[in-house]
Amino acid sequence: MIELTDLEKKVLHSSRDNEYGDPAEDPVWVFSIIKNSGIESSKARGVISSLAKKGLAFVDDYEGNGKADDMVFSLTPLGVEMSGG
């Protein structure tokens, strides 16, 4: 089983409830995931990166410009399971 930090759990759970949809079904904007998590943005980006490294999420550069605000976030099947859903 993958061990998660409290912040990783918070991002996973809060990612499922945002105005752009459910990352279990379709990619959503990283800025929305950060906003909904309530975690300071630089710290939240690190948490999102950690989730991707653990195979729980995908992060993709939607517009190919390398800006964090233009990236999208989606959950892997394991990420969906671990997010409670």
22-52: per-residue pLDDT in tens? 999 999 999 999 999 999 999 999 999 999 9
The chain-wide mean pLDDT, for the chain, equals: 89
- Tell me which long-range contacts 37-40 makes (C-beta under 8 A, separation of at least 24): 37/7, 37/10, 37/11, 38/10, 38/14, 39/7, 39/10, 39/11
Percent of the chain with pLDDT over 90: 66
Q: Which residue has tokens 């990283």?
A: 30
pLDDT of residue 8: 96
pLDDT of residue 7: 96
Residues contacting residue 28 through CB under 8 Å, at least 6 positions apart:
15, 18, 20, 21, 22, 72, 73, 74
CATH number of 6-82: 1.10.10.10
Instruction: Identify the residue with better confidence: 52 or 63.
Output: 52
The answer to whether the Cα torsion of 46, 51, 52, 58 is positive or negative is: negative
Instruction: Identify the residue with better confidence: 13 or 68.
Output: 13
pLDDT of residue 68: 65
Q: How far apart are alpha carbons 28 and 2 in whole angstroms?
A: 24
In residues, how long is the chain? 85
